[in-house]
Structure 1
Amino acid sequence: MDSILVTGNGPLSGQIPIAGAKNACLTLMPATLLSEDPLTLTNAPRLSDIKTMTQLLQSLGAEVSSLQDGQVLAMSSHDLTSHTADYDIVRKMRASNLVLGPMLARLGQAVVSLPGGCAIGARPMDLHVEGLEALGAEIELKDGYLHAKALGGLKGAVHEMRFASVGATENIVMAATLAKGTTVLKNAAREPEIVDLVNCLRKMGAQIAGEGTSTIEIQGVDRLHGATHQVVSDRIELGTYMLVPAICGGEVELLGGRKSLVESFASKLEEAGVSITETAKGLKVSRKNGPVTSVDVITEPFPGFPTDLQAQMMALMCTAQGVSVLEERIFENRFMHAPELVRMGAQIEVHGGTAKVTGVDQLKGAPVMATDLRASVSLILAGLAAEGETTVSRVYHLDRGYEHVVGKLEGVGAKIERIKSQ
C-alpha cells in the first residue's frame, strides 16, 4: 500500500492549478442517463472516483470514453442494458446513489445498492427516498438494494426536505426534469455543485429555476437532448491548497480559483491573518508575518463553512496562536484525523462533535495513517509545516479526491514524494 513522505522545508511559493470539481463531476456524469443523446464533460478531474463512476455507468450499458488525458468525458446512454447498480461497484463510493433518480425518471425503474464511501457517518438514503416517493415512485428496501418503480412515470409535486442534503437535492432535481408537471423542491441544498448541475441540465433542455437558493422549481419536459458542459472548479481542492501558504508561509497563486466558491472559508482564513487577493488567473494567498491567529469554526451547509475543509482547517489551527474550537454539525465521526495530528505534537481534545485545539509552536514529523479522503490531505498539510519527516500511509483515500497532489505541491517547492508499496 502506497504512502507519502513529506519533509517540512519552510515557506512555499508558486502556482497550483485547480482541477474540476470531483463532487460536481460525479453528479454530472449520471445526468447522461436522462437522455439518449451524447453528453460531454470538459475540465473533468482525473481521480479514482471518476473511474468508479465510469465503471458504474458502463455496467448499466452507457458508453463512456476518457479523452485528452482524462480531462474530457464523452458519454452516451442511447442503449442502456440494465437498471441495476450492483453492490460490488456502488460500495466503493457514496456518489453511486446518484444513478437512482435519473434511471427512475427515464426507465421507470431502478435497483440500486445502498452506497459506501468514506467512514464518516451513516449518511442514510431516507431523504432521497422521501423525495422520489413524493414524485410518485414506489420504493422498497430488499437485501441491501433499493427497488424503485414509477412505471406510469414520475409526477411533479411540492416537497420539502427535512435537511438540505446535497445528494438528495441532486437526485430529486434530476428525476424531476422528466416528471409530468411542476416540481417545487423546498429546503434544497445551495452548493455550487448543484448550480453547476442545473446549468448542465438546462443545456440539455431542462426547465429549472431557483438553483443556488433554498427553493428550486422544475418544469418537467418530455425528453432531454445532448450537451457539452465544463465542470466547475473544485472548491474543496481550492480551499485545501489555500491552506498551503497559510500553514507553511509564502505566497501561492491558485489558478482557476474564485473567492465566490469559498466565501465562508476565505473569511475565516482572513480572520486568522491570511492575505487573499483575486488575480486575473485566480486567487493569490499569502502569509508572511508570523503564525496565524486561532479562529473558531462551525461546519454548516453551503454557504456556511464546508465540512470537507474541516480536517484541513484543523491542521492549520494546530499551529495557530491561541485556542480554537471546531464544531462538526454535518457528519458524525469526522474527527478521526485528530489522534493522528496528536501523534505529530498537536494539542487536541475531542468531545463528541466538538474539537478544542490549542496551537503549538512546532509540529513534529511522525508516521501517521489516513482515515478518509479529507483527513489524508490534512496530514500532508501538517507534514509540510512539521519539523522532520512525516509518512502518511493508506493514501488510497487521497486518490479519490486530489489529482497529482505530489506534483502540484512539488511545483511550489514542497519536499514530498510518493513511496510505492513493495
Structure 2
Amino acid sequence: MDKLVIQGAKPLHGAVRISGSKNAALPILLAALLVDGPIAYENVPRLRDIFTTLKLLNILGLATTFEDDRVAVAPAAALNHEAPYDLVKTMRASVLCLGPLLARLGRARVALPGGCAIGARPVNLHLSALEKMGAVFDLEAGYIEGRCDQLTGAHITFDFPTVGGTENLLMAASLAKGRTILENAAREPEISDLAEFLIAMGAKITGHGSTIITIDGVDSLHGGSYAIMPDRIEAGTYMVAAAITDGDLILEKCPFRELDAAVSKLREMGVGFTETPAGVRVFRQSELVNADVATLPYPGFPTDMQAQIMALMCLAKGAGSIKETIFENRYMHVQELVRLGAKIKVSGQNAFVHGVDRLIGAPVMASDLRASASLVLAGLAAHGTTEIQRVYHLDRGYESMEVKLSKVGADIVRARE
C-alpha cells in the first residue's frame, strides 16, 4: 500500500494544469450505454475511478481503449444488464448505469453501491423517480433489480436536489417515450456537461443548469466526440495549496466561473486571484483570516471543498466555523488534522476552527477522497515530515497529485508502506 511523505513549509511557485473533471467524466462515460455508435472522449483524467468505470463498461459489453487523455468506446453487439458487486463496491457512481440500462434493455441488476464512507447517500431518490417512469424494483441479495416494458416520460419533483439522481434520470429520460420534466433538479456544472454530451449525441434537453430540466425522449442516440470539462474541485484544491503555503500558482485550464462560491470565500480569507492569458493566478494577498462556511448544493459552497478549506482555516487568524449540510459523516479528517496541531471541535453538523501559528508534521491516515486532499494540503504547510497513509483514496480523484506538486516546489514523494 502506498503512502505520501511530505517535507512541508515550502512555498509553491509555478503552473499547474487542471485535469478533466472526475465528477463529469464518470456519468458521461456511463452514458455510452445509451449510444448506438462509437464515441471519442477527450480530456479524461487518468484516475482509479475512471479505470473502474471502463472495466464496468467492458463487463456490460462495450469495448474501450484509454490512451493519454483520450477514451474510445465501441458499441456493444449485445449489452449485459448486470453490474457486479466486485466493481460497484469500490465506486458509488456505478449506480449511474441503472437508468441507461433500463432505458436500453428494460432490465438492470446493479449491486448496491459503495465508495467513500462519508454518509449513507441512499439511492431511494433514483428509484422512486424511475418508478414514476414505469420501472419496478426489487432488492435481492444486495442487488437492485429493475425492469420495465419501456420507460415513459413523467413529471418528477425531487425531494432534494440530488446530483446522482438528476444524472440517472437525465440519461434514462433521453431514450424514454415522451417528455420528462425534472423539478428541483441539481444544478452542478457536471450535470450541464452530461446534458451537453447527450445533446451532442442527439438528445433533446433544455433547462440544464437550472432547477427545471425538460427532456423529450428520442428513439436512439448516435456516436460522436466530446471533451470533458476541467475539474473544478481539483482547481479549488490547488487554489488552497497556493494559499496555505504562501505560494503563487498559475492554474491552467481552470474553470474559474464554476468556482464562484469557493473563490468568494477564499477572497474573504485573504487569497488573491488574477485572470491571465496563461490561466488563473492564485496567491496570498494578505494575512489569512478565518471565516464561516456552510456547504450547500450548487451554486453554494461545494461539500467537496469542505475538507480543503478546513485545512486552510487551521492556519488562519481568529476563529471560524463550518456547517456541513450535505453529508452527515464528513468530518473524519478532523482528528487527523488535530494530530498535526490543528484546533478543531465538532458538534453535530458544525466544526469550529481556531487558527494556530503553525502545524507540525506527523503520521496521518486518509479516510476518504477529499479528506486525503486536506491532509496533503496541511502537510504542505506543516513544519517537518508528514506521512499520509491510505492514499488510494486520493488516487480516486486527483491525477498524479504528487507529480504536479513536485513540479511547483513541493517536497513530496510516494513510497510503499
- TM range, normalised to the smaller chain? over 0.9
Contact 1:36 1:79 survives alignment (8 Å) = no
Contact 1:37 1:78 survives alignment (8 Å) = no
The aligned counterpart of 1:214 is 211
Distance (whole Å) between structure 2 residues aligned to residue 261 and residue 36 of structure 1 = 32
Contact 2:270 2:285 survives alignment (8 Å) = no
Find out whether 1:321 has 2:317 as its counterpart.
Answer: yes
Q: Secondary structure at the match of 2:277?
A: coil
Find out whether 1:239 has 2:240 as its counterpart.
Answer: no
The aligned counterpart of 1:192 is 189
The one-character-per-residue Cα deviations of 1:375-396 (angstroms, maximum 9, x if unpaired) are 0110010011111110001111
TM, length-normalised to structure 2: 0.99
Distance (whole Å) between structure 2 residues aligned to residue 76 and residue 139 of structure 1 = 30
Which of 147, 154, 157 is equivalent to 1:157?
154
Distance (whole Å) between structure 2 residues aligned to residue 82 and residue 10 of structure 1 = 51
Alignment of 1:240-259 (within 5 A): 240-259=237-256
Distance (whole Å) between structure 2 residues aligned to residue 81 and residue 401 of structure 1 = 28
Q: Secondary structure at the match of 2:266?
A: helix
The one-character-per-residue Cα deviations of 1:55-77 (angstroms, maximum 9, x if unpaired) are 1111111111112x2x1010123
The aligned counterpart of 1:143 is 141
Which of 304, 308, 325 is equivalent to 1:308?
304
Overall identity of the aligned pairs, in %: 52
Aligned-pair RMSD on alpha carbons?
A: 0.9
Distance (whole Å) between structure 2 residues aligned to residue 377 and residue 306 of structure 1 = 14
The aligned counterpart of 1:353 is 349
Contact 2:138 2:146 survives alignment (8 Å) = yes
The aligned counterpart of 2:163 is 166
Shift of 1:79: 1.7
TM, length-normalised to structure 1: 0.97
The aligned counterpart of 1:416 is 412
Distance (whole Å) between structure 1 residues aligned to residue 9 and residue 87 of structure 2 = 41
Distance (whole Å) between structure 1 residues aligned to residue 298 and residue 360 of structure 2 = 34
The aligned counterpart of 1:260 is 257
The aligned counterpart of 2:223 is 226
Find out whether 1:281 has 2:278 as its counterpart.
Answer: yes
Shift of 1:11: 1.8
Alignment of 1:285-300 (within 5 A): 285-290=282-287, 292-300=288-296
Structure 2 unaligned regions, length at least 5: none
Which of 380, 385, 388 is equivalent to 1:389?
385
- Runs of 4+ residues over 6 Å off in structure 1: none
2:45 aligned partner, one-letter code: P
The aligned counterpart of 1:367 is 363
The aligned counterpart of 2:198 is 201
2:160 aligned partner, one-letter code: F
1:99 aligned partner, one-letter code: C
2:272 aligned partner, one-letter code: S
The one-character-per-residue Cα deviations of 1:396-422 (angstroms, maximum 9, x if unpaired) are 10110001101100111011111124x
The aligned counterpart of 1:93 is 91
The aligned counterpart of 2:63 is 63
Distance (whole Å) between structure 1 residues aligned to residue 144 and residue 279 of structure 2 = 43
More deviation in 348-357 or 138-147?
138-147
The one-character-per-residue Cα deviations of 1:286-306 (angstroms, maximum 9, x if unpaired) are 01544x110111001110000
Contact 2:231 2:255 survives alignment (8 Å) = no
Shift of 1:81: 4.0
Contact 1:190 1:213 survives alignment (8 Å) = yes
Distance (whole Å) between structure 2 residues aligned to residue 57 and residue 160 of structure 1 = 30
Q: Secondary structure at the match of 2:297?
A: coil
2:290 aligned partner, one-letter code: S
The aligned counterpart of 1:48 is 48
Structure 1 unaligned regions, length at least 5: none
1:181 aligned partner, one-letter code: G
Shift of 1:326: 0.4
Distance (whole Å) between structure 1 residues aligned to residue 276 and residue 105 of structure 2 = 46
Contact 2:199 2:205 survives alignment (8 Å) = yes
1:327 aligned partner, one-letter code: K
Which of 269, 272, 277 is equivalent to 2:269?
272
Distance (whole Å) between structure 2 residues aligned to residue 239 and residue 103 of structure 1 = 34
Distance (whole Å) between structure 1 residues aligned to residue 330 and residue 85 of structure 2 = 25
More deviation in 1-10 or 306-315?
1-10
Find out whether 1:37 has 2:33 as its counterpart.
Answer: no
Alignment of 1:10-29 (within 5 A): 10-29=10-29
1:354 aligned partner, one-letter code: N
Distance (whole Å) between structure 1 residues aligned to residue 95 and residue 121 of structure 2 = 11
Contact 1:258 1:278 survives alignment (8 Å) = no
Q: Secondary structure at the match of 1:74?
A: strand
Distance (whole Å) between structure 1 residues aligned to residue 79 and residue 269 of structure 2 = 54
Distance (whole Å) between structure 2 residues aligned to residue 126 and residue 81 of structure 1 = 25
The one-character-per-residue Cα deviations of 1:93-151 (angstroms, maximum 9, x if unpaired) are 00000100001001111111110000000011100001111111111211111111112
Distance (whole Å) between structure 2 residues aligned to residue 196 and residue 212 of structure 1 = 9
More deviation in 58-67 or 279-288?
279-288
Contact 2:64 2:71 survives alignment (8 Å) = yes
Distance (whole Å) between structure 2 residues aligned to residue 86 and residue 340 of structure 1 = 34
The aligned counterpart of 2:100 is 102
1:3 aligned partner, one-letter code: K
Distance (whole Å) between structure 2 residues aligned to residue 243 and residue 28 of structure 1 = 28
